[in-house]
Structure 1
């Protein structure tokens, strides 16, 4: 028996749990069901996906705002601004 509650799961009642003067056949051991982690895993995956979606939406919004600001600046003061993506040099 490897688990601490394996003896109870096998319906073996330890003598320490039976009150004195009680017939062992009349003792009923009630156990809670094993914990399910399905809900917690689903909650974690949902939060992770939501956070990823928010970060992607924020990146697109920042890109749009930067492009709009680069288009507006020349009309305000005659200064030219270009938005360039970084290029890898090999």
Structure 2
């Protein structure tokens, strides 16, 4: 794994993803999901919203890294991506 750029921000991002997968597994076992229609244009399950939210989070992080200055912190992009993911999970 020495070839990867493991910074605290990257570790936090992947740690959050791993934690979300564990929580989603427990939720699915305890309370099986049903499809519902939120503000996304399709009916989605909890897992669908997680997948869509993770894709959006990845795009936000990539956009932040690509558009910010070379020495800029990646924490704002991480925070924005997690807020967007939370919004999709809650209202999507």
TM-score with structure 1 length normalisation? 0.32
Structure with higher RCO (Cα < 8 A, 6+ apart)? 2
More helix by share: 2
* Structure exhibiting the larger radius of gyration computed from Cα positions: 1
TM-score with structure 2 length normalisation? 0.31
